């Protein structure tokens, strides 16, 4: 008769142990069960051992390996210390101990509580054991939930890992400290977004510089995960940036309970409505200043949206209030006023003291920009052409130097990706990883390697263009002349010519609105 020995140790067992008590240790279980098997004359087929798993966790790797081998009838007996080591769920007692195992001709034995499927007389006691274990799980779940809720309500951090940008305070349980290395990246993400960079663009910038994403950063810092064998991407993604930009923990508020478990029998979680979250303000030092936070939240809520006809406003996300810095919102007047479009600071409606309230019609702003553009063009054409050429060449040489430096960084990253793909292939050949794991893990490498190769190609084209422009001389006069004497602007022109426009409040007793144009050239 071949016996499969199953051992399990949970974190709860560790907490209950005294320093001198090792009766619940995995090693002791193995010794006890091996000795019992030998006394019965059974051959030990294999010892299956799950360390740091609860009896209600159905994803235990060795538990599932035992079930797979049972279905293949590789042994005749399953031997455990107690029935609860195998499972604490009554449902699984019936499914496996009283269901699958008898069909396969496999005997279940637990030596401490005398459970033995070869003894039909103790089936009821096995069921009672299963019911008691079920009650134990439910009571334990309620007690743990009560303790965790109390700590959440009082603003203590209860997660296994601190949010990226923070560290768990070693001297004060439940308190967070700033991790300056990661916090610098968080500040950069918020700053870049406030300057108009998109979430995908920010992720690419971080990846191109080789900055590890939060998961990889924690791994590099030696933090332990429950399932380290799961392939993890080292790259920043759109959603990592998106989640970071709205996480209130970065302004010093403890926010927990966004997800809740479906049942104590499963580790599946589901989102909870915001009113059920636990939010406690000012529990730790903020990484992001309130002013920057408010600006980013406003930008997120007011991303440029197309009009009902599918077009984008002429100055969408280009016009800002000179007083508060908020992006001005587009609107349309009444039919009586001709239904003309206008731009208005949205912050004026929040509070009378929040902002003076910049306001300008789109037509008036367009005319002002055209007038300023014509003025600049005239002044430029009157400047000394030799001096312009010198400045022009110096600027292009700076651009060439920057592009060459970027290409060196991209080439280095491509070499790293190529090496990584080669090493993963060798791991697949040696059987260290599966074909599926290999394809999944190399997918991101190949994707980003291709993207960087494309960037290098684009940069090579830019370098070629710069060389040609240096050789042919300053052609900006042609560009300036192209945009002289315009009657109307297009969205494409605005994108090419203008970085942003600062609009002030109308000067009292006049129709003049102060504007400041920040050009792209």
Q: pLDDT tens digits for 86-114?
A: 887 877 888 888 888 988 999 999 888 88
pLDDT higher than threshold 50 for residue 248: yes
Instruction: Report how far residue 84's alpha carbon sits from residue 493's, in angstroms, rounded to the nearest whole number.
Output: 72
Residue 347: the pLDDT is 67
Give me the half-sphere count of Cα atoms (radius 13 Å) on the Cβ side of residue 520: 12
Residue 233, token pair as written in the block = 């991407």
pLDDT higher than threshold 60 for residue 140: no
pTM metric for this prediction: 0.40
pLDDT higher than threshold 80 for residue 25: no
For 186-200, 262-276, 491-505, which range has the lowest pLDDT when averaged over its residues? 262-276
Residue 16: the pLDDT is 44
Q: With residue 7 as reference, give the H or E element that holds it.
A: strand 2-9
Residue 205: the pLDDT is 87
pLDDT tens digit sequence for 469-496:
666 544 455 556 667 778 888 877 887 7
User: Most confidently modeled of 94-98, 185-189, 199-203?
Assistant: 185-189
pLDDT higher than threshold 90 for residue 443: no
Residue 309: the pLDDT is 47
Mean pLDDT of the chain, nearest integer: 78
Instruction: Report how far residue 108's alpha carbon sits from residue 118's, in angstroms, rounded to the nearest whole number.
Output: 8
Residue 173 DSSP code: T
Residue 390: the pLDDT is 45
pLDDT higher than threshold 80 for residue 391: no
Q: State mean pLDDT over 215-223.
A: 84
Cα 139 off chain centre by: 34
pLDDT tens digit sequence for 334-369:
766 677 888 888 765 544 455 677 889 999 999 999
- Please answer whether residues 150 and 167 qualify as being in contact, where contact means their C-beta atoms are separated by less than 8 angstroms: no
pLDDT tens digit sequence for 48-76:
998 878 777 788 899 999 999 999 999 99
Q: What is the DSSP string of 443-492?
A: HHHHHHHHHHHHHHHHHHHHHHHHHHHHHH---HHHHHHHTTT-S---HH
Roughly how many angstroms between the first and final C-alpha of the chain, as a whole number? 85
- Please answer whether residues 174 and 156 qualify as being in contact, where contact means their C-beta atoms are separated by less than 8 angstroms: yes
Residue 485 vs residue 7, higher pLDDT: 7
pLDDT higher than threshold 90 for residue 84: no
Backbone angles phi, psi at 47, to 5 degrees: -105, 120
Residue 459 vs residue 469, higher pLDDT: 459
For 101-110, 137-146, 280-289, 409-418, which range has the lowest pLDDT when averaged over its residues? 137-146
pLDDT higher than threshold 50 for residue 194: yes
pLDDT higher than threshold 50 for residue 78: yes
Q: What whole-number percentage of the chain has pLDDT above 90?
A: 19
């Amino acid at each position: 008769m071949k016996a499969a020995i199953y051992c399990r140790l949970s974190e709860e067992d560790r907490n209950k142990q005294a320093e001198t008590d090792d009766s619940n240790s995995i090693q002791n279980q193995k010794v006890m069960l091996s000795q019992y098997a030998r006394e019965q004359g059974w051959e030990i087929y294999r010892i299956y051992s799950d360390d740091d798993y609860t009896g209600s966790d159905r994803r235990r790797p060795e538990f599932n390996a035992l079930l797979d081998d049972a279905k293949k009838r590789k042994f005749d007996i399953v031997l455990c210390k107690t029935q609860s080591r195998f499972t604490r769920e009554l449902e699984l007692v019936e499914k496996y101990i009283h269901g699958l195992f008898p069909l396969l001709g496999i005997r279940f034995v637990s030596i401490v509580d005398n459970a033995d499927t070869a003894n039909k007389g103790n089936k009821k006691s096995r069921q009672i054991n299963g019911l008691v274990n079920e009650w134990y799980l439910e009571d334990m779940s309620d007690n743990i939930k009560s303790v965790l809720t109390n700590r959440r309500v009082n603003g203590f951090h209860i997660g296994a890992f601190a949010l990226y940008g923070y560290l768990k305070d070693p001297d004060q349980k439940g308190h967070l400290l700033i991790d300056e290395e990661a916090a610098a990246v968080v500040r950069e993400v918020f700053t870049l977004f406030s300057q108009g960079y998109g979430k995908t663009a920010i992720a690419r910038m971080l990846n191109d510089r080789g900055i590890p994403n939060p998961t990889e950063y924690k791994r590099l810092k030696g933090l332990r995960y429950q399932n380290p064998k799961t392939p993890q991407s080292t790259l920043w993604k759109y959603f990592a940036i998106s989640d970071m930009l709205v996480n209130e923990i970065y302004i010093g508020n403890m926010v927990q309970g966004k997800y809740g478990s479906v049942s104590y029998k499963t580790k599946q979680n589901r989102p909870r409505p915001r009113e059920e979250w636990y939010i406690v303000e000012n529990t730790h030092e903020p990484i992001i200043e309130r002013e920057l936070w408010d600006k980013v939240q406003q930008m997120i809520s007011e991303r440029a949206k197309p009009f009902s006809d599918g077009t984008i406003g002429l100055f969408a996300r280009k016009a800002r209030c000179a007083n508060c810095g908020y992006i001005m919102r587009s609107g349309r007047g009444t039919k009586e006023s001709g239904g003309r479009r206008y731009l208005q600071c949205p912050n004026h409606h929040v509070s009378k003291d929040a902002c003076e309230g910049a306001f300008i019609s789109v037509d008036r702003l367009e005319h002002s920009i055209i007038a300023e553009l014509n003025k600049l063009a005239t002044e430029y054409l009157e400047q000394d052409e030799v001096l312009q050429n010198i400045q022009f060449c110096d600027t292009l040489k700076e651009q060439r130097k920057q592009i060459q430096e970027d290409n060196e960084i991209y080439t280095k990253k491509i070499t790293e990706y190529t090496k990584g793909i080669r090493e993963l292939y060798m791991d697949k050949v040696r059987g260290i990883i599966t074909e599926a794991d290999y394809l999944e893990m190399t997918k991101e490498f190949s994707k980003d390697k291709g993207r960087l190769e494309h960037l290098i190609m684009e940069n090579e084209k830019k370098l070629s263009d710069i060389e040609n422009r240096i050789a042919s001389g300053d052609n900006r006069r042609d560009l300036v002349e192209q945009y002289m004497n315009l009657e109307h602007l297009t969205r494409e022109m605005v994108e090419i010519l203008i970085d942003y426009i600062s609009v002030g409040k109308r000067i009292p007793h006049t129709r003049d609105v102060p504007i400041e144009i920040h050009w792209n050239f």
